């Protein structure tokens, strides 16, 4: 069961989602700017990558070229990980007809991590969900509707992370053999890294910003927020958590963070109604239809955005009881589960301010 994209309602989806994302960014910007004393004019920039509006805000520098570097990374990783961009690594894997493809070492790294989570969840999330998710077409420019049941069953027969094989090829940097090839043993299989890619990109942006001497910043990629350090005045960043199904910008909780990541996955972000029935973008790998459990959203806080991204998706797919049990083996992770009826289940280390 996988979360790949985010959207609004069926009518005017693309425009609505862009406005929604910008609204969320403005709310976030207001929250993180409040109380900044040392640098009253941080520099910030927004862009649109991976079907998501992203924003980078830097508090301790006025060097715009550092922002240039951040968005160069966003473009680089879109060219590697996007399932829809022709010529990307993932696109080449999906269109190889079962042939072996040589890709970036980073693509293999992220795909192996994705398969590790698929294995850990016993397939509840699966990077080969693409044949099914493509039928539903939850992209910002798509027209989501309920596919034919026969088409779902056919697509579902090609979903299994066991189809993925990795191989070695010479490294571009050292020439030494490294994992660089991917083969899908089912020619009709296809991969999608949407449930983990944005977290990975946020972590890579953090690495870059630290290398440039930035020690106070906030990276927002849709529902993924990563804080570098703290505010210039020493205060933590305050991040609002969206109330499921409420008006955009309505927070149900606020968390204070320093040098960590907050990632929220929810069923209310990309959804539509057909014949009075609610459908959302979190797909069940056993049925091909939206997952049906009690959860509306899952928020994870931990030091790795990649990990937080994968865990929030995993738990949303597993459901309340299995999700909380799944997190028992995870160290240094705080969580907030919100059910469809609004009940909150938070870990003891989840420092929040209920509204």
Mean pLDDT, residues 272-288: 93
Q: Which of 90-99, 136-145, 271-280 has the lowest mean pLDDT?
A: 136-145
Pair 274, 146: CB distance under 8 Å: yes
Ramachandran category for residue 272: left, alpha or beta (phi over 0 → left; psi -120 to 50 → alpha) = beta
- CATH number of the structural domain spanning residue 294: 3.10.520.10
Taking all residues of the chain, what is their mean pLDDT, rounded to a whole number? 88
Nearest 5°: the CA angle 43, 305, 28 is 40
Look at the chain and report how many structural domains it folds into. Answer: 1
Scan for tokens 């999608």, then name that residue.
192
Confirm whether 281 is domain-assigned.
Answer: yes
Per-residue CA distances from 180 to 96, 114, 117, 203 (Å): 15, 15, 20, 21
When pLDDT is cut at 50, 70 and 90, the band that residue 239 belongs to is very high
Scan for tokens 């929810």, then name that residue.
266
| E runs forming strands in 237-352 | 237-242, 251-257, 261-266, 271-274, 277-280, 295-302, 334-339, 344-346
Per-residue CA distances from 345 to 285, 286, 293, 327, 351 (Å): 25, 26, 15, 13, 12
Confirm whether 113 is domain-assigned.
Answer: no
pLDDT at 155: 98
Confirm whether 128 is domain-assigned.
Answer: no
Confirm whether 96 is domain-assigned.
Answer: no
Scan for tokens 């929040």, then name that residue.
352
Confirm whether 160 is domain-assigned.
Answer: no
Show the domain range for 334.
13-61+212-346
Can you give the pTM of this predicted structure?
0.87
pLDDT tops 70 at residue 40: no
pLDDT at 140: 59
Confirm whether 117 is domain-assigned.
Answer: no
Q: Which of 40-44, 54-58, 302-306 has the lowest mean pLDDT?
A: 40-44
Confirm whether 251 is domain-assigned.
Answer: yes
Nearest residue to 266 (alpha-carbon basis) of 240, 304, 299, 289: 299
Give me the numbers of helices (H) and strands (E) for the chain, helices first please: 9, 15
Q: Which of 58-72, 134-148, 150-164 has the lowest mean pLDDT?
A: 134-148
Distance between CA atoms of residues 28 and 97, nearest Å: 43
Confirm whether 207 is domain-assigned.
Answer: no
Mean pLDDT, residues 289-306: 97
pLDDT at 7: 29
- Percent of the chain scoring above 90 in pLDDT: 77
Within 8 A by CB and 6+ apart from 223, the residues are 6, 263, 264, 265, 266, 269, 312
pLDDT in tens, 99-132: 999 999 999 999 999 999 999 999 999 999 999 9
pLDDT at 22: 39
């Amino acid at each position: 069961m996988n979360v790949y994209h985010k959207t609004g309602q069926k009518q005017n989806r693309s425009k609505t989602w862009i406005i929604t994302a910008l609204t969320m960014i403005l709310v976030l910007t207001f929250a993180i700017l409040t109380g900044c004393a040392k640098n009253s004019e941080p520099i910030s920039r927004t862009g649109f990558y991976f079907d998501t509006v992203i924003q980078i805000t830097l508090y301790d520098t006025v060097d715009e070229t550092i922002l240039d570097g951040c968005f160069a990374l966003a473009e680089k990783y879109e060219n590697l990980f996007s399932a829809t961009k022709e010529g990307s690594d993932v696109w080449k894997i999906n269109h190889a007809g079962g042939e072996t493809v040589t890709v970036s070492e980073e693509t293999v790294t992220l795909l192996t991590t994705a398969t590790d989570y698929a294995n850990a969840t016993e397939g509840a999330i699966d990077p080969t969900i693409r044949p099914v998710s493509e039928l539903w077409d939850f992209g910002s420019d798509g027209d989501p509707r309920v596919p034919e049941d026969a088409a779902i069953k056919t697509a579902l027969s090609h979903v299994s992370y066991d189809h993925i094989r990795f191989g070695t090829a010479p490294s571009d940097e050292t020439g030494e053999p490294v994992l660089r090839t991917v083969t899908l043993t089912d020619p009709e299989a296809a991969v999608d890294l949407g449930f983990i890619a944005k977290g990975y990109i946020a972590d890579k942006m953090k690495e870059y910003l630290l290398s440039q001497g930035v020690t106070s910043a906030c990276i927002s990629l849709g529902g993924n927020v990563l804080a570098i350090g703290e505010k210039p005045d020493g205060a933590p960043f305050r991040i609002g958590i969206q109330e499921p199904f409420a008006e955009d910008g309505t927070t149900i909780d606020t968390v204070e963070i320093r040098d960590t990541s907050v990632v929220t996955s929810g069923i209310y972000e990309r959804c539509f109604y057909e014949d009075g029935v609610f459908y959302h973008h979190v797909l069940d790998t056993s049925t091909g239809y939206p997952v049906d459990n009690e959860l509306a959203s899952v928020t994870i806080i931990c030091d790795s955005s990649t990990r937080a991204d994968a865990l929030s998706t995993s738990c949303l797919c597993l459901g309340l009881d299995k999700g909380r049990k799944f997190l028992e083996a995870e160290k240094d992770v705080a969580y907030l589960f919100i059910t469809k009826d609004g009940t909150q289940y938070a870990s003891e280390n989840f420092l929040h301010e209920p509204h």
